[in-house]
């Protein structure tokens, strides 16, 4: 039976000798979060960590995850690798990227991905929207009393600039709200 496309790359992972460790990437993204068969994320994360990856980013690439799914997945993965080795990358197709990222942060993950104006997408998931908007993430973090060092006004200007250059609308709720104020 053929493996689903998303598992082909994962199934090809092989143990490597320490002599070749210098040629391996030290940061790897796993792009499957959410409903899945078995312990895929846990096993792959453990394997990557044992191969020397110091940061493993777990991604909800098609944006179907929820905070509950994020919590369950991270709880399971954290039993296999240290929390300090984990990062998350959430897409916003169902409007859950900010909530999923907050859940990860509350669980202790300290590395999260976002993009200005929420730019991005998924080439193999037609209709999937972009990433978590950095403007929304910074606004939330500042509202929680977490100093980011990011000037939100300058970030909004950068988002406006790139959206005009690309002739695209922003996905940032903060940018949309501040344009109407």
How far apart are alpha carbons 29 and 52 in whole angstroms?
14
What strands lie across the sheet with 55-60, from one edge to the other? Answer: 27-30, 55-60, 86-90
**Angle, helices 67-77/97-106, rounded to nearest 10 degrees:** 40
- Report helix, strand or coil for 155: helix
Catalytic annotation, pick one of 53, 90, 122, 163: 122
Tell me 63's DSSP state. S
Q: Report the Cα 180 to chain-centroid distance in Å.
A: 29
Q: Is 122 a catalytic residue?
A: yes
In sequence order, the β-bridge partners of residue 30 are: 58
Tell me 68's DSSP state. H
Q: Which residues are identified as catalytic?
A: 122
């Amino acid at each position: 039976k053929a493996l689903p496309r998303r598992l082909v790359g994962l199934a090809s992972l092989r143990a490597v000798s320490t002599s070749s460790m210098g040629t391996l990437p030290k940061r790897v993204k796993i792009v499957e979060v959410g409903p899945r068969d078995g312990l895929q994320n846990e096993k792959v994360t453990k394997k990557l960590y044992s191969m020397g990856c110091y940061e493993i980013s777990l991604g909800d690439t098609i944006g179907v995850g929820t905070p509950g799914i994020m919590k369950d997945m991270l709880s399971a993965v954290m039993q296999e690798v240290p929390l300090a080795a984990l990062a998350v990358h959430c897409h916003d197709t169902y409007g859950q990227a900010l909530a999923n990222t907050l859940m990860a942060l509350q669980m202790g993950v300290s590395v999260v991905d976002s993009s200005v104006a929420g730019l991005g997408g998924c080439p193999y998931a037609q209709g999937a929207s972009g990433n978590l908007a950095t403007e929304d993430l910074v606004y939330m973090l500042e509202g929680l009393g977490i100093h980011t060092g990011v000037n939100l006004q300058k970030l909004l200007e950068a988002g406006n600039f790139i959206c005009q250059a690309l002739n695209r609308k922003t996905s940032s709720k903060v940018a949309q709200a501040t344009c109407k104020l």
